[in-house]
Amino acid sequence: MKNVTITVEDATLEWVRIEAAKRNTSVSRLVGEMLTDKMQHDDAYARAQREWVADTSSFSSGGQPYPEREALHG
């Protein structure tokens, strides 16, 4: 593991200290866990988006032409 130095607002630091105490952990570990959670969430979102874009079945018209915009919003 690597150590990093961060700069945060006083109110943010107070909040994270309280949260760490509530969870019986250190500020460093809590911030590390939060960053890991964020990374995993973002990775899962990006993966789901790639899968959705790759799934062309939802865009299939079954060989029929798509309706004109005016017909849909007329």
> What does the pLDDT read at residue 38?
96
pTM of this structure: 0.64
Residue, of 74 and 18, whose pLDDT is higher: 18
**Residue range 14-71, pLDDT digits in tens:** 999 999 999 999 999 999 999 999 999 999 999 999 998 888 777 777 788 888 899 8
Two tokens, residue 53: 């874009």
Q: How far apart are the first and last CA of the chain?
A: 60
- Set out the domains of the chain in order of their start, with CATH numbers: 1-37 (1.10.1220)
**Are the C-beta atoms of residues 26 and 20 closer than 8 Å to each other?**
yes
> What does the pLDDT read at residue 11?
98
> What does the pLDDT read at residue 15?
98
Q: Is the pLDDT of residue 72 over 90?
A: no
